[in-house]
Amino acid sequence: MADFVTVGIDGTNLSSIGAFQDLFALVRVRVEELFRTRDQSPLMPKVRLLKPGGGTLLLADGRRLATDGALEFGQGHDLVHMSSFAFEGLEALENRLSEAASVCAWLRWQYNSGALISAGGTALTLLAAAGLLGSVAVPVPRPLVSFFRQRYPRVQIDERNPIVEQGRFILGRGLGMEVAMVGRAVERVTSRPTGRWLGPIIGLDEMAADFDSTDPLVVQAQIWLEQRFAEDVKITDLAKALSVSHQTLIRHFERQLNTTPRHYVQQQRVAAAKHLLRRTNRTIAEIANMVGYNDLRSFRAVFEQHTGMSASRYRAAGGKEQPRNMIAQG
C-alpha cells in the first residue's frame, strides 16, 4: 500500500500540516466510495505525521501535537510533505538549519529512494540545505530571496510562479499556496480524475477545468464516467442521464476526444488498475474486479491492449510501459 507522510520540525505551522492531512482525508473517502461496490477494505492509508526523534511536535503557536513516529532511514515513502515552519528572523533560521543535519540527510535518502517531495515557504530552506534543489526553479518567498541568493547561490529562484512542479518536486511560495500545492500532489499520487474531483471540493475550480474537451456535453460525460467506471457502466444510462441519444453522445466524443465512451471507460479502468498494481499488493484478479471487470480474461485483454504488456509484467517492471500505438475501439 502507498505510504504518505508529512514531516514537521518544532515551530511547524499547523495549517501546513492540516492542508496535507485534510486533503488526503477527503481523497481517502472518495477512493473508498468509488470502489465501494467492489471492495470494502481500505485502499488508501492515513497520512502519518513524523518528526525528528518522534514524540510531540511543538507548533508555531506554542501548542503541542502528537506525532506518529520518528524519521527512519531504510523506510521509503511514496510522498513526503515537508511542512513549513515559523519565520522568526534570519538568525533563528540559520540556527534551525544548523540543527537540521539529520533531517537533510533523511530528505536526501527519501529522494534517492524515489519519493515525491512537496514543500513550501520556509520548508524550502531544508531542501536547499539538503542539496536537492540544484536543477529546480524554486518559488522562494520574497523575504527569503536575499537569504537564498547569499547562502545557496546555485539555486535558481522563480519569482513569477507561486507553485513549481518539476521532476519529483512540488514546491510552493508559502502558506497561501499550500492547498493548491497539496492538490497537485494528490493528483500525482492518485489520478487526474481524482484531482478534477477534488478541485471544486476545495474551491480550486482550475483543477476541475482540466479537461481535454471544450464541449460541455463531453465534459459532463467524462465526469459521469469517471465517477462510475468501477461499476457496471452502460452507455445508454449515460446518454439518458445527459438527455441525448446514444449516437449523439458517440458523435460528440469522437469529434472531441477521437474515441468513444466505451473506450474512455476502458482508459479509466486501466489507469486505476495501473495505480493499484504499482501501489498495492492486491492480486491481479482482485484488481480486475475492483476496477469493473467481472471476467479476468477480459481485463487481461484490455490491459494488454492499452499498455502493450500483461498486468503481471507491468507490475514486475515497476510500472514502466512498453510503447505501443493504440487504436481506439468503440
Say if CB 101 and CB 64 are below 8 A apart.
no
What integer is the mean pLDDT of 75-80? 90
The total of other beta-carbon atoms located within 10 Å of residue 239's CB is: 18
Q: Are strands 56-58 and 64-66 parallel, antiparallel or unpaired?
A: antiparallel
Q: What is the pTM of this model?
A: 0.71
Kindly indicate the confidence band of residue 94, based on its pLDDT and cuts at 50, 70 and 90. Answer: very high
Say if CB 156 and CB 138 are below 8 A apart.
yes
Question: How much is the pLDDT for 319?
Answer: 67
Alpha-carbon torsion, ordered 313, 317, 322, 328, to 10 deg: 60
Q: How far apart are the first and last CA of the chain?
A: 34
Say if CB 85 and CB 144 are below 8 A apart.
no
Question: How much is the pLDDT for 149?
Answer: 93
* Cα–Cα dist 32/39, whole Å: 8
Question: How much is the pLDDT for 210?
Answer: 56
Strand order in the sheet with 48-51: 69-70, 48-51, 4-7, 79-82, 116-120, 169-172, 163-166
Domains and CATH numbers, the chain: 4-190 (3.40.50.880), 216-316 (1.10.10.60)
Say if CB 178 and CB 17 are below 8 A apart.
no
Question: How much is the pLDDT for 328?
Answer: 35
Question: How much of the chain exceeds pLDDT 70, in percent?
Answer: 90
Question: How much is the pLDDT for 40?
Answer: 56
List all residues 6 or more positions away from 13 whose beta carbon is below 8 Å from its beta carbon: 59, 60, 83, 84, 85, 86, 121, 175
